[in-house]
């Protein structure tokens, strides 16, 4: 299979495989359902509301059923960006 003129370049193969794996590993980002309520959520959180309070507000006021832990993760991601 190998020819006399060709040599196997292991380093090039490793780099090619790693770049393919990195591309496959990339995450697809979607827009959050919470993005449209971002300013209200942040204001209420600063005013002392818990994540459970925010989940209840979304459910009652906006018919958006979302778990408390999802709101907590969303708010933590927003803080990381700042």
Q: pLDDT per residue over 50-71, tens digit each?
A: 999 999 999 999 999 999 999 9
Give the chain's end-to-end CA distance (angstroms, integer).
Answer: 56
Question: pLDDT tens-digit profile of 11-34?
Answer: 999 999 999 998 888 777 788 999
Rounded CA gap, 53 and 43, in Å? Answer: 13
Using the Cα atoms of residue 80, residue 77, residue 36 and residue 32 in order, give the sign of their dihedral.
positive
Apex CA 48: angle with CA 43 and CA 49, to 5°? Answer: 80
Q: For residue 78, give its domain range.
A: 32-82
Does any domain span residue 57?
yes
26 lies in some domain: no
pTM value is 0.65
For the record, the structure tokens of 9 come out as: 């370049």
The number of domains in the chain is 1
Classify residue 45: in a domain, yes or no. yes
Question: Is residue 72 assigned to a domain?
Answer: yes
């Amino acid at each position: 299979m190998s020819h006399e003129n060709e040599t196997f370049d292991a380093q090039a193969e490793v780099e090619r495989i790693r770049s393919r794996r990195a591309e496959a590993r990339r995450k697809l980002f979607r827009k959050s359902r919470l993005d449209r309520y971002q300013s209200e959520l942040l204001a209420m959180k600063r005013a002392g509301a818990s994540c459970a309070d925010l989940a209840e507000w979304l459910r009652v006021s906006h018919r958006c059923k979302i778990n408390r832990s999802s709101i907590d993760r969303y708010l933590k991601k927003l803080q990381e960006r700042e």
